[in-house]
Amino acid sequence: MTSHHIYLLALCFAVSTAKAAWPYPCDSVRCHSKLPFCRIQRVDCFTSPCYPVAVCTNSPPPVPSVCSVGGPVINANMNQIKCSSDANCPDGTYCTGGSCCWTNPEKPGSCPRQKRSYRKIRVKRCGRPCSIDSDCSGNQKCCLSGGCGHICRSPVIEQNDFF
């Protein structure tokens, strides 16, 4: 195997294992005055992944929105898609507050290592529950925490996280 082939294999592995940070579809759409609001809408696809698309509507997103980016995903009837878990939402979206929302890019840094405690703790205080980084305020990330599920925590930032 040549070094060229090894480079291509490494590149394919890096691309396939990296978390994609998809841009919000409405960022690249200009709606006109008759249909002034850009919303993201679930579509039916023959293959997966099947991401929602930007559509211009006369239906504004709800204010305030449960979504950190844009409004909730809508269906073909322009109704907000309701959910109880991420499995109810289209690809590229997640369930929060009973609505499907566009997934934000992952925040920089990594989750701190979990500390092992061998003492018995009667009451454990858990932080704010989350599903993805955008559920957390500021620079906090959504991290697995033993006994608490996923909670918002301050990240460990390494210099190469910004390059």
Profile the chain (163 residues) by mean pLDDT over runs of 10 residues: 36 33 80 93 87 90 81 91 89 87 79 68 67 76 82 81 48
What is the predicted pLDDT for the residue at 18?
34
Peptide bond into 49 cis (omega under 30): yes
What is the predicted pLDDT for the residue at 159?
65
Could you tell me where the beta strands, DSSP code E, fall in the chain? 37-41, 53-57, 93-96, 99-102, 141-145, 149-153
Contact 7, 28 (CB under 8 A): no
The reported pTM is 0.54
- CA-based nearest residue to 66, from 96, 89, 39: 96
What is the predicted pLDDT for the residue at 20?
44
What is the predicted pLDDT for the residue at 147?
76
Q: What is the pLDDT of residues 40-71, one digit of tens each?
A: 999 998 987 888 999 999 988 887 888 877 88
- Give CA torsion, residues 125, 131, 133, 138, to 10 deg: -50
What is the predicted pLDDT for the residue at 54?
92
